[in-house]
Amino acid sequence: MTGVFSLDENIMKAADLLKRSTFTTAYTGAGISVESGIPPFRGEGGLWTKYDPTMLDIDHFLGNPVKGWEIIKEIFYDFFGKAKPNKAHLVLAEMEKQGLVGRIITQNIDNLHQEAGSIHVYEFHGNSKKLVCLECRMHYKASEISLDHLPPTCRQCGGLLKPDFVFFGETIPEGPLLAAYESASISDVFIIIGTTGEVVPANQIPFLAKSNGAKIIEINPAESNYTGQITDIFLKGKAGEVMEKLSKVLFTPAL
């Protein structure tokens, strides 16, 4: 259905689906934040071309908290910390305000959907802007904790602090997991933005939505695991650029 139409024609079709939808879920991955300056994990310029992914394995971190924190600080706090929402985050927030998106299920940990103004955001992999004590489970804003001396420790009990995002080998938080499964059963449109669909179990959610009858719109400059299998309308391009075009059709006046 998607290949023979131009991007503009597919945008019109996507806008029509979105306007007719009774409940739309946006499902986002690292690609939506690339235009904010945050590289994805995989592919060209991806973080795994520079860093070793075992740094984010929970057992590795627990065995080497200083080394682990040195890399985590460099990637997620010195660098990610300064990113601002881009057009794609802003358009999604406006879509929610106008009743065109019911919720966002994100694999991202960068907090940019909330900073753009989105309210119903479910973070499948947690959030880097919070730290959690592994002993007493006390939570802190990352901005309140100095990373001058690593590893950071809990002010209350002295336990090791860890970023409150999901490391490899950890389980998905229950709230976002349940919200994602619920979305897959109640949505008649899923809009997938900027994900390879390679991270288990998050990658299963769009497949589940499709099997429950949802139409799938996908935005990505490259094909993903979803494109040839479940995507109904493929909007090939960068998230910010495509969402800006979509917003011109969806909103009057344009955002």
Which residues within the stretch 8-47 sit at the binding site for ligand NAD (CB under 6 A)?
29-35, 38, 40-43, 46
Give the DSSP letter of residue 149: S
Residue 85 in the binding site for ligand NAD (CB under 6 A): no
C-alpha closest to that of 24 among 253, 245, 248, 233? 233
Q: Residue 125 catalytic?
A: yes
Q: Measured between alpha carbons, how far is 243 from 60 in angstroms, rounded to an integer?
A: 39
Strand duo 139-141 + 103-106: pairing: unpaired
Q: How far apart are CA 167 and CA 55, in angstroms?
A: 9
Q: Which residue is catalytic, options 89, 120, 125, 149?
A: 125
How far apart CA 107 and CA 46 sit, in angstroms, is: 16
Name 52's Cβ contacts closer than 8 Å, sequence gap at least 6: none
CA distance 159 to 135: 5
Taking CB under 6 A as the rule, which mask of x and - marks residues 172-211 in contact with ligand NAD?
----------------------xxx-xx------------
* The CA-based dihedral angle spanning residues 222, 223, 224, 229, taken in that order and rounded to the nearest 10 degrees: 170
CB of 18 to ligand NAD, least distance (A): 18
Residue 151 binds ligand NAD (CB under 6 A): no
> Among residue numbers 100 through 139, which ones bind ligand NAD (CB under 6 A)?
107-110, 125
Helix (H, G, I), strand (E, B) or coil at 124: coil
Residue 244 C-beta: closest distance to ligand NAD, Å: 12
Q: Return the number of the residue (32 or 154) whose C-beta is nearest ligand NAD.
A: 32
CB of 153 to ligand NAD, least distance (A): 25
User: Binding marks (x or -) toward ligand NAD, 43..82, rule CB under 6 A?
Assistant: x--x------------------------------------
Q: Name the residue nearer to ligand NAD (CB basis): 56 or 250.
A: 56
Minimum distance, C-beta of residue 202 to ligand NAD, in the bound complex (Å): 6
Q: For residue 222, state whether it binds ligand NAD (rule: CB under 6 A).
A: yes
Q: How far is the CB of 22 from ligand NAD (least distance, A)?
A: 26
Rounded-to-integer distance, Cα 16 and Cα 34, Å = 27
Following CA atoms 122, 128, 132, 138 in sequence, which dihedral angle do they give, to the nearest 10 degrees?
Answer: -70
The count of chain residues that interact with ligand NAD, using the rule CB under 6 A, is 30
Closer residue to ligand NAD in complex, CB, 153/225 = 225
Which residue, chain included where needed, has tokens 């259905």? 1
Which residue's Cβ has the minimum distance to ligand NAD?
Answer: 31
For residue 152, whether the previous peptide bond is cis, meaning omega lies within 30 degrees of 0, is no
Q: Which of 88, 72, 69, 78 is nearest to 30 (CA)?
A: 88
Question: By the criterion CB under 6 A, which residues form the site for ligand NAD?
Answer: 29-35, 38, 40-43, 46, 107-110, 125, 194-196, 198-199, 219-222, 224, 238-239
Q: Which residues are catalytic?
A: 125
